[in-house]
């Protein structure tokens, strides 16, 4: 056989193999589509009795998402869905409130990510935007974010008020080895181990650690396998952690951008909402199953459940027991126990498989941090921050003072951040990871400081003390917020301490939120709560449709190559 003929034969064979592979994929895709269509047709034909009800305990993003999944994917009657919230407002940790006269406040801010929030984008693509006609919330957010890209130019600031060169991660060979070893270590070998038990002391002085810690709010004593999950899940962000280019922002605060449009669509469909009511306990059947039989309330008589009813409860809320201060008053130490944690504790004693809240809600000294929201008249202060950082509002994400005793960071969002915010009013948010330490410039612990004292500490890190009186005259309010359990989800734990979303042997009960176990995914994200809600609904309502999988960026050769290059920067 001639060389040319041999090449033609090989090319023909390769083409045939390629065509066969393409044909096989097409057949598989078609089969999958047909199966999904049959499942959807079966669900569309379902009928539910009028005495079938779903009770969603807690009014945060997890339960609101579960309500929409019930309506959208299970075709469950909206008027038979009941959301029960202990506070006088929905939204859980996705909050935002205030006025131009009294000042605005966000207890925290949730950064989104376009590449890893798979179920988040799918869900909110079903929610109409309140401000962009004929657009979904997903389209609204991504449109805004693409028009306001993030590229931090002052990610770290040192003790002399100088911007740190963060193009290098600052790793030693020992750091690289320990980090690589962690990514390869099975999780079952990491029970109850902390980050500081895994790494050498020098690791915690690297640029990488300061940036990773403050971006995601890790502590040295946080669980090392939560860090491992973050590294694997967010490996795509590793190479751009110094600019935070992967951060996706909502047009406004998360309450107005996420919670309100989701609430509006649920209310319009007929979902029942009860505020200012606490579920204090849940009874279960006295058998080997996990079957909820009765709900107990703070302000009304117990509710007996039928065999057809379903209960989904928020197993814990990171902003439970949060307290607020003001310009001239520090937040009081909370006297109220964590409501969601208390309920979880009670039911965990009744049935095996419902997890263990003690590692998360039993060590306040390890799980707290302090945030603050600054409201000012005019934009003089924001202009000063812009001139220092090189970032216009909305483009810089976090700026961290790495030598701050409080490990203080700030975020200047695009203005306005609230719908009711006047054009001549500006706001920005910040937080400190070590609020029980004394400040560098204010001789008080952050938890004991008024809003004014916190702002003085902040501007002092920028070297602006001489201009304090001029800065202060524009300030409307600085609202500090103490959150005793905000980092609880990162606590060292056993794998068994978090319950499955639908515990083994459950017939009508699921647990939602940040304290359930979802392998491969990462806590402290909107995606985690929404994924949990989808798992709960699909499992308890026998919906044989795919849930958006965790995207394996950590197995993408290009991502791995960039991560390796970043390790040696």
* Residue 391, both tokens: 């970032």
- Residue 299 Ramachandran class (φ > 0 left, ψ -120 to 50 alpha, else beta): alpha
Are the C-beta atoms of 369 and 446 separated by less than 8 Å?
A: no
**Helix (H, G, I), strand (E, B), or coil: what is residue 223?**
strand
Sorted by sequence, the CB contacts under 8 Å of residue 163 that are 6+ apart come out as 153, 154, 156, 157, 389
Active-site residue list: 230
Cα distances from 568 to residues 169, 178, 230, in angstroms, run 8, 14, 20
Q: Quick one: which of 309, 326, 344 has its CA closest to 104? A: 326
The tokens for 65 are: 């998402």
Q: How many helices (H) and strands (E) does the chain have?
A: 19, 19
Other Cβ atoms within 10 Å of 214 Cβ, number: 22
Three-state SS at 234: coil
Nearest alpha-carbon partner for 328 in 453, 443, 430: 453
Region for 214 from its dihedrals, namely left if φ exceeds 0, alpha if ψ lies in -120 to 50, beta otherwise:
alpha
* CA 513 – CA 529 distance, rounded (Å): 5
Token output for 478:
């600085």
Helix (H) or strand (E) holding 104: strand 103-105
Q: Which tokens go with 354?
A: 């419902």
What is the Cα–Cα distance from 400 to 370, expressed in whole angstroms? 14
Number of neighbours of residue 425 by Cβ within 10 angstroms: 22
Residue 240's CB: how many other CB atoms inside 10 A? 16
Residue 66 has a CB neighbour count (10 Å cut-off) of 30
Q: How far is residue 370's CA from residue 324's CA, in Å, rounded to a whole number?
A: 10
Q: Which two tokens stand for residue 151?
A: 């590229």
Nearest to 107 by CA among 561, 526, 429, 514: 429
Give the chain's largest Cα–Cα span: 92
Cα–Cα distances in angstroms (integers) from residue 219 to residues 174, 224, 486, in the given order: 20, 10, 12
Q: How many residues does the chain have?
A: 569
User: Of the candidates 242, 44, 88, which has an alpha carbon nearest to the alpha carbon of residue 151?
Assistant: 242
Where do the H-state alpha helices sit in 349-504? 358-361, 364-367, 380-389, 451-461, 468-472
Residue 478 DSSP SS3: strand
């Amino acid at each position: 056989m001639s060389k040319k003929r041999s090449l033609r034969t090989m090319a023909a064979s390769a083409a045939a193999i390629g065509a066969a592979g393409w044909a096989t994929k097409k057949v598989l895709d078609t089969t999958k589509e047909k199966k999904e269509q049959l499942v959807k047709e079966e669900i569309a034909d379902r009928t539910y009795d009028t005495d079938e009800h779903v009770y969603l305990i807690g009014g945060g993003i997890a339960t609101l998402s579960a309500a929409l999944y019930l309506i959208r994917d299970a075709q469950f009657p909206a008027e038979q869905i009941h959301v029960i919230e202990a506070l006088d407002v929905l939204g859980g940790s996705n909050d935002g409130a205030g006025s131009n006269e009294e000042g605005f406040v966000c207890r925290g801010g949730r950064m989104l990510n376009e590449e890893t929030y798979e179920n988040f984008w799918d869900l909110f693509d079903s929610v109409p935007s309140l401000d962009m006609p004929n657009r979904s919330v997903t389209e609204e957010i991504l449109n805004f974010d693409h028009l306001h890209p993030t590229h931090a130019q002052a990610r770290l600031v040192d003790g002399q008020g100088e911007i740190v060169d963060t193009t290098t991660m600052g790793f030693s060979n020992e750091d690289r080895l320990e980090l690589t070893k962690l990514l390869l270590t099975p999780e079952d070998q990491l029970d109850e181990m902390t980050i500081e038990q895994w790494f050498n002391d020098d690791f915690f002085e690297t640029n990488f650690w300061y940036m990773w810690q403050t971006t995601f709010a890790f502590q040295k004593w946080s669980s090392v396998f939560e860090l491992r999950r973050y590294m694997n899940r967010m490996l795509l962000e590793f190479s751009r952690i110094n600019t935070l280019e992967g951060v996706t922002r909502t047009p406004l605060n998360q309450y107005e951008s996420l919670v309100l449009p989701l609430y509006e669509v649920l209310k319009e469909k007929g979902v029942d909402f009860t505020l200012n009511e606490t579920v204090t306990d849940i009874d279960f059947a006295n058998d080997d199953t996990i079957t909820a039989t009765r709900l107990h309330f703070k302000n009304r008589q117990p509710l007996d459940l039928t065999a057809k009813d379903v209960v989904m409860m928020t197993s814990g809320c990171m902003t439970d027991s949060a307290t607020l201060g003001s310009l001239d008053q520090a937040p009081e130490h909370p006297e109220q126990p964590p409501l969601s944690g208390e309920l979880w504790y009670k039911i965990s004693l009744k049935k095996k498989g419902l997890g263990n809240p003690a590692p998360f809600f039993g060590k306040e000294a390890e799980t707290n941090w302090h945030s603050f929201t600054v409201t000012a008249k005019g934009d003089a202060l924001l202009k000063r921050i812009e001139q220092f950082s090189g970032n216009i509002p909305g483009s810089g994400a976090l700026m961290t003072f790495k030598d701050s005793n409080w490990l203080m960071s700030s975020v200047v969002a695009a203005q306005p951040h609230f719908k009711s915010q006047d054009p001549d009013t500006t706001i920005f948010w910040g937080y400190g990871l070590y609020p029980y330490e004394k400040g560098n410039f204010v001789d008080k612990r952050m938890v004991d400081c008024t809003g004014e004292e916190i702002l003085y500490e902040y501007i002092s890190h920028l070297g602006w003390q001489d201009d304090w009186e001029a800065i202060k005259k524009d300030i409307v309010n600085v609202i500090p917020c103490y959150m005793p359990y905000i980092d609880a989800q990162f606590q060292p734990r056993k794998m068994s301490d978090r319950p499955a979303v639908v515990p083994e042997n459950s017939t009508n009960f699921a647990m939602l939120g940040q304290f359930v176990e979802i392998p491969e995914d990462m806590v402290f994200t909107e995606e985690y709560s929404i994924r949990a809600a989808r798992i709960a609904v699909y499992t308890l309502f026998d919906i044989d449709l795919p849930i958006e999988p965790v995207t394996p960026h950590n197995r993408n050769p290009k991502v791995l190559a960039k991560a390796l290059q970043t390790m040696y920067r």
